[in-house]
Structure 1
Amino acid sequence: MATKKKTASPGAKPVYKSSAGLLPWLGIALIVALLDQVTKITVERSFAYGETLPITGFFNLIKVYNPGAAFSFLGDAGGWQRYFFTAIAFVAVGFMLYLLKKHASQRLFCFGVALMMGGAIGNVIDRMAYGHVIDFLDFYWNGIGHFPAFNIADIGICVGAFLFIVDELRRVNQS
């Protein structure tokens, strides 16, 4: 919904400002986090740890846990990393809220940030509830090996980061 903002000069065009603000972007983040949690709960209840269900010649569903960060970075660090990565996620979500509020009219930018925020929230829920992140998407190439397993939150983070970069490159090319 748009509201009309008054202008200083009578001949100037009216400026429209969105009254919705953060709400659409928070909705996108919530959808990513909910979709992530529903899929993880389904895998958690349907699979034993390490159980694999082949889907195609390059993709499996698998239930694995990641106590670290991307690619199991610091996964064997002894437990402190749970709190460290949780704290980083809280700071990141706070910063993303600031970015969304400041740049609410930049649609591609905000869409990317909302996807990243939803992914961060989805993974931090796992860290707080279980002490690790549940991963279940396993892509591989015969003869080369398996890509590290990931989840819907990770997809949100990666796609969001890609859109963020595309938006920045587009903005730089325009100036």
Structure 2
Amino acid sequence: MRLTLITALITLVVDQLTKLLVVHGLNLRARGEIDVFPPYLNFRMAWNEGINFGLLSRQDDLMKWILVAIALAISAAVLWWVHRERPRTAGMIAAGLLVGGAIGNVIDRLVYGAVADFLNMSCCGIENPYAFNVADIAIFLGAAALVLIPADKKAG
């Protein structure tokens, strides 16, 4: 359980630090976009009020609180599962990535009213219109690993 909590904390800190540095430090909020290593890596400010790709996006506070509640409930369920099942190291790290990313996006919703997305990557002539953040990467990797990695319990 401790490894899960440490992973979640590291994920949360890295997510929030990158948002502070890019959104505020580089003033991406006002600039809107910064080409870092085009087209492979660009900073494009996007405020996501919904879930992935802006799904369930609405302009009212109710949806924000519903999404916060869902993220907190999922995080609590994952932590309960780790405590109960005691998965191997990979499972504990995956759970920590998912929880840390979810809490990072919850903080955004509480502070900004929306999730601060800023990473944009394109390649090979395909223009990606979407932006994401470190928390989104952690959530994706954590969830994928929890699904794909066998959930064998740790010995003892």
TM range (shorter): 0.7 to 0.9
TM score, norm. by length of structure 1: 0.77
The reply to whether residue 41 of structure 1 matches residue 20 of structure 2 is yes
> 2: distance between equivalents of 1:24 and 1:143?
41
Structure with more contact order per residue of length (Cα contacts < 8 Å, sep ≥ 6): 2
> 2: distance between equivalents of 1:26 and 1:149?
27
Q: Contact 1:64–1:136 (CA<8 Å) still a contact in 2?
A: yes
Q: Contact 1:65–1:135 (CA<8 Å) still a contact in 2?
A: yes
Report runs of 4+ in structure 1 exceeding 4 Å deviation. none
Q: Within 5 Å, give how 1:55-70 maps onto structure 2.
A: 55-56=36-37, 57-70=39-52
Q: Within 5 Å, give how 1:2-151 maps onto structure 2.
A: 22-45=1-24, 46=26, 47-49=28-30, 51-56=32-37, 57-141=39-123, 143-151=125-133
Corresponding residue pairs, total = 149
Unpaired segments of 5 or more residues in structure 1?
1-21
For the aligned residue pairs, the C-alpha RMSD in angstroms reads 1.8
Paired-residue identity, %: 31
Secondary structure at 1:145's aligned position in 2?
coil
Structure 1 residue 43: Cα displacement: 1.8
Identify the structure with the greater helix proportion: 2
> 1: distance between equivalents of 2:68 and 2:79?
17
Unpaired segments of 5 or more residues in structure 2?
none
TM score, norm. by length of structure 2: 0.86
Max Rg structure:
1
Structure 1 residue 143: Cα displacement: 4.4
Identify the structure with the greater strand proportion: 1
In structure 2, relative to structure 1, the CA distance for the partners of 1:50 and 1:84 (3 Å cut) is farther
